Amino acid sequence: MKLQSLEEQRAALDASEVSSVELVELALTRAEGTGTDLGAIVGLRAEAALAAAAGSDARRRAGEIRSPLEGAPVVLKDNMVQKGEPTTCASRILESFVSPYDGAMAEKLEAAGAIILGRANMDEFAMGSTTENSIFGPARNPWDTSRTTGGSSGGSAVAVSAGITGFALGSDTGGSIRQPASFCGVVGMKPSYGRVSRWGLVAFASSLDQIGPFTHSAREAAWVLEAIAGHDARDSTSLPEPAPALESALTGDVKGLRIGLPREYFVDEGADPGVVEAVRGAVSELESAGAKVVEVALPHTPYVVSTYYLVATAEASSNLARFDGVRYGRRAENVQDLDEMYKRSRSEGFGREVKRRILLGTYVLSAGYFDAYYRKAQQVRTLVRGDFDRAFEACDVIIGPTYPEVAFPIGARMDDPVSLYLGDIYTVSANLAGLPGISVPCGQHQGMPVGMQVLGRPLDEATLLRVADAFQRRTDHHEHRPPGSA
Binding site for other proteins (CB under 8 A): 79-81, 87, 89, 94, 97, 99-101, 103, 198-203, 205-207, 233-237, 314-315, 317-318, 320-324, 326-328, 338, 342, 362, 365-367, 370, 374
Give the residue with the Cβ less far from other proteins, 318 or 444: 318
Give the residue with the Cβ less far from other proteins, 362 or 475: 362
Give the residue with the Cβ less far from other proteins, 34 or 91: 91
CB of 413 to other proteins, least distance (A): 28
Q: Is 427 left (phi over 0), alpha (psi -120 to 50) or beta?
A: alpha
Please, are residues 450 and 443 in contact by the beta-carbon 8 Å criterion? yes
Cα 216 to Cα 164, 181, 318, 364, distances in angstroms: 12, 10, 36, 40
**How many C-beta neighbours within 10 Å does residue 46 have?**
15
Q: In what order do the strands lie in the sheet with 73-77?
A: 41-44, 115-120, 73-77, 167-172, 210-215, 187-190, 437-445, 448-456, 397-401, 258-262, 292-296
Tell me the β-bridge partners of 118.
44, 75
CB of 371 to other proteins, least distance (A): 12
Give the residue with the Cβ less far from other proteins, 181 or 201: 201
Give the residue with the Cβ less far from other proteins, 4 or 91: 91
Is residue 429 flagged as an active site residue?
A: no
CB of 215 to other proteins, least distance (A): 24
Please, are residues 199 and 103 in contact by the beta-carbon 8 Å criterion? yes
Parallel/antiparallel/unpaired status of strands 437-445 and 292-296? unpaired
Give the residue with the Cβ less far from other proteins, 145 or 306: 306
Distance CA 315, CA 357 (A): 10
CB of 227 to other proteins, least distance (A): 19
Is residue 152 flagged as an active site residue?
A: yes
Please, are residues 402 and 182 in contact by the beta-carbon 8 Å criterion? yes
Q: From the candidates 77, 153, 217, 238, which is the catalytic residue?
A: 77
Give the residue with the Cβ less far from other proteins, 150 or 200: 200
Please, are residues 98 and 152 in contact by the beta-carbon 8 Å criterion? no
Give the residue with the Cβ less far from other proteins, 242 or 327: 327
Cα–Cα–Cα angle for 240, 245, 248, rounded to 5 degrees:
160
CB of 348 to other proteins, least distance (A): 16
CB of 207 to other proteins, least distance (A): 4
CB of 204 to other proteins, least distance (A): 11
Q: From the candidates 5, 19, 134, 176, which is the catalytic residue?
A: 176
Distance CA 439, CA 333 (A): 45
CB of 46 to other proteins, least distance (A): 24
Give the residue with the Cβ less far from other proteins, 303 or 328: 328
CB of 432 to other proteins, least distance (A): 12
Is residue 2 flagged as an active site residue?
A: no
Q: Which residues are catalytic?
A: 77, 152, 176
